Amino acid sequence: MITIEVADVYPWLLVFLRTTGLLMLIPVFSGMTIPPPVRVGIAAILALLVTPLAGDLGPVPATVPGLVRIFIHELLAGLLMGLATRLVFYGLEMAGQLISTEIGLVLSNTIDPITHATATPFNTLLFYLGANLFLITGADHGSIVALARSFQVFPPTAAFDPATADRVVVDSSRIFLVMMEVAAPVVALNFLVNLAMAALGRAAPSLEVYSASFSVRILAGLIVFGLTLGITAQHLLSEMSGTPDLMLRFLR
């Protein structure tokens, strides 16, 4: 008869809970296209691989409340790390919404196949651009390495620093930075188009400037967005390169 000791399963279970929290928010793997049982299986496999690298995770708590507390501790740690990987994508979603509003495509909503929520075409396009860069650049591998290192930086017995909330709030400003880096060219162009159309309307009041501005804004916005896509990718690469360090900084 095979017997399994709690002490043998305990380290794997802690790693599994932290990994589960990470997979709940990490880009690509947290989408609705991956069924929850598959995500649980991925978390279990990653936990098997990471557990030997985690080192000593401390003894098993002697009481049930202590066990529940440390389980919640690990799940919250994983969620914080997942939030760090998600900030760039929140910025991309806001940038897509801002671009769509500026050029007049805010009403052309579709169903996002990842989240099953309504999204504008630019939301979906920017999300897939970020997801491809996240996988191509190996940021997903860096996130797994950061997960393994997190048990040395922030073991299960460590307490959350009261300053953690301040760090999360401060670093969350990256959302607005990414949004402005991506959407700024289109916003500036839209301002110039509106200014030119206003001047044309004053010079020739008989022209239907308001109606004509819609097609001009859409065409000019698409052209500028396409021309600046390479610069957008460079900004995203720069932001994603610091994701593993940001994941650990959220825990320190």
Write the CB contacts of 244 (distance below 8 Å, at least 6 apart in sequence).
Answer: 139, 142, 143, 145, 146
* 3-state DSSP assignment of residue 55: coil
Q: Over 80: is that where the pLDDT of 97 sits? A: yes
Q: Across the chain, what does the average pLDDT equal? A: 85
Q: How confident is the model at residue 56 (pLDDT cuts 50, 70, 90)?
A: confident
Q: What is the pLDDT of residue 19?
A: 94
> Cα–Cα–Cα angle for 86, 90, 96, nearest 5°?
140
Domain boundaries, the chain: 6-249
Lowest model confidence (mean pLDDT) among 104-108, 181-185, 214-218: 104-108
Average pLDDT over residues 196-214: 77
Rounded to a whole number of angstroms, the distance between the first and last alpha carbons of the chain is: 44
| pLDDT above 70: residue 152 | yes
Q: Give yes or no for residue 5 having a pLDDT over 70.
A: no
Percent of the chain beyond pLDDT 90?
A: 22
130-137 CB contacts, 8 Å cutoff, 24+ apart: 130/27, 130/88, 130/89, 130/92, 130/236, 131/27, 131/28, 131/89, 133/233, 133/236, 133/237, 133/240, 134/27, 134/28, 134/240, 135/28, 137/237, 137/240, 137/241
pLDDT in tens, 120-140: 788 888 888 998 899 888 888
Are the C-beta atoms of residues 127 and 114 closer than 8 Å to each other? Answer: yes
Whole-number pLDDT of residue 113: 55
Distance between CA atoms of residues 92 and 79, nearest Å? 20
- C-alpha closest to that of 139 among 21, 242, 33: 242
Q: Give the tokens for residue 157.
A: 């017995």
Contact between residue 60 and residue 67 where contact means Cβ atoms under 8 Å apart? yes
Q: Quote the CA–CA distance of 175 and 167 in Å, as a whole number.
A: 14
- In angstroms, the CA 148 to CA 88 distance is 22
Query: Which pLDDT value is given to residue 125?
Result: 86
DSSP-derived letter for residue 62 is S
